[in-house]
Copies of this chain bind each other. A is one copy, B any other.
Amino acid sequence: MPDPLLTACADLRRTRLRAVLGERAALIPAGRSRPRNYPANPYPFRASSHFLYLVGCRADALEGAALWLDGAGAVLLRDPPGPDDALWHGPLPDNDVLARATGLTVAPWSSLSTLRRGRSVATVPALDRAEAEARAALLARPKESLGHAAIDEPLLEALVALRLVHDEGALAQLRCAADVSVGAHLCGMAATRPGAREQAVCAAMEHVIAQAGCTTAYGSIVSVHGEVLHNPHHLHVLADGDLLLADVGAESAHGYASDITRTWPVSGRFSATQRTMYELVLAMQASAIAMVAPGVRYRDVHLRAARTLVDGLVQLGILHGDVDTLVDDGAHALFFPHGIGHLLGLDVHDMEDLGDRAGYAPGRTRSRQFGLGYLRLDRELAPGMLVTIEPGFYQVPSLLADPGRVGVVDRALDRARLAPFSDVRGIRIEDDVLVTATGAEVLTAALPSAPDEVEQLVGRSSG
């Protein structure tokens, strides 16, 4: 079940992390499955991303395990299966089998007391309070040191530095996840028919992901109300003039994410106004992807897309004024309120459990400007980093009606020129872009985004 390349990469990752730890030790728990409505009915177990990164293998047998790292090496702490486990869960690997599969020393949890004797032990933040309390008990720390006190900045910095740049093993998984997602979107387009429900398209897409042995990396968004940014509902009936926005991504067998959005016309034909705005979003994306290269500040990629949008809206007469001034005033955020993208890796917003440590370079913090404040990444790009590039155009009624949000842009906004675009509620186009030594590679390039091609893919079934 483990992937040999990923297992070898994980060994190298552990060696690198241990070099940073020096005299200290680290405990990285896998975590446990979380209950749905009662403890015996859990959501599928999915180990912590830090643990997956350092062990290189996703397996149910690792539920409740933890990785111990110190100067002497790495130990996987895990209790062997109990007598009734085989009945309920099948033959689980014993610790010897697990040791061969992962290339790690595997020892029962009782070894921890010896391992940690006289050591300063670093750990990663727990995901919830139960985990934090259990962690404090394991490390014989007082309960009051829950949460923040358990956070070890040098360890987190080292993890961020490692996980920011994807190695060969990670890239193979990320490419696999991207390919599966491309297939899901093609199937979603083919499943689109006026009169069907959003959930029919969503189910068709998730079917492709499940058949590939993957899971969804996040809650799928498949909605004719694309202007609702995080929309988990799939109840609307698809109507002839609607645009359908689908933000659906697979997670690979060993936990690596992909993240793709496409927006297509339910009828198989964009209206003239829809096509105009779609092409503008596509131009935003092209201008942003063209900038992706080592050394480029991601915030500037965001602002480039913003500038492309404002420029387009000025040309359409929807905004009036100087493009640079409008961007400075945040005019784009009225229609594009989120960031141009984020880090992608084991998490769909990679390492967001560490707050902005991964997304923001040291010394940088979130802007207070509406829109820019939602940007999840403000670093200089480096080869091996994977980011999404996901511009959008949305008409959010509550936003456009809020004088506090429209602010100084109100004078520049020609609502009469905007009115004909009422059949565009939300468009987003999102691809996964790898920073290479010389520029960028779009991992999701196999999925068309040109409007003619999209029309053709949808139209074959619905047209």
- Asked if A347 contacts B38 (CB within 8 A), the reply is yes
For window 33-55 of A, CB contacts with B under 8 Å fall at 34-44, 46, 48-49
**Size class of the A contact interface (CB-based, 8 Å):** 35 or more
- Asked if B127 contacts A133 (CB within 8 A), the reply is no
A437 within 8 A of B: no
- Asked if B210 contacts A202 (CB within 8 A), the reply is yes
A340 within 8 A of B: no
The docked-state distance in angstroms from the alpha carbon of A200 to that of B213 is: 9
In the complex, residue of chain B having the shortest beta-carbon distance to the beta carbon of A143 = B143
Chain B residues within 8 Å of A398, by CB: 86-87, 91
Chain B residues within 8 Å of A204, by CB: 207
- Asked if B199 contacts A203 (CB within 8 A), the reply is no
Shortest C-beta distance, A280 to chain B (Å), equals 20
Contact of A347 among B37, B130, B206 (CB under 8 A): B37
Chain B residues within 8 Å of A365, by CB: none
For window 154-207 of A, CB contacts with B under 8 Å fall at 197, 199-200, 202-204, 206-207
Interface of A is mostly: loop
Chain B residues within 8 Å of A43, by CB: 34, 36, 43
- Asked if B41 contacts A349 (CB within 8 A), the reply is yes
The docked-state distance in angstroms from the alpha carbon of A229 to that of B206 is: 26
- Asked if A213 contacts B228 (CB within 8 A), the reply is no
Chain B residues within 8 Å of A128, by CB: 34-35, 128-130
Shortest C-beta distance, A252 to chain B (Å), equals 14
User: 25 A-B contacts, Cβ less than 8 Å apart?
Assistant: A34-B36, A34-B43, A35-B127, A37-B49, A37-B127, A37-B346, A37-B353, A39-B127, A43-B43, A44-B232, A86-B228, A87-B229, A87-B399, A88-B230, A90-B231, A129-B130, A130-B130, A197-B213, A199-B210, A199-B213, A203-B207, A203-B210, A206-B206, A206-B207, A206-B210
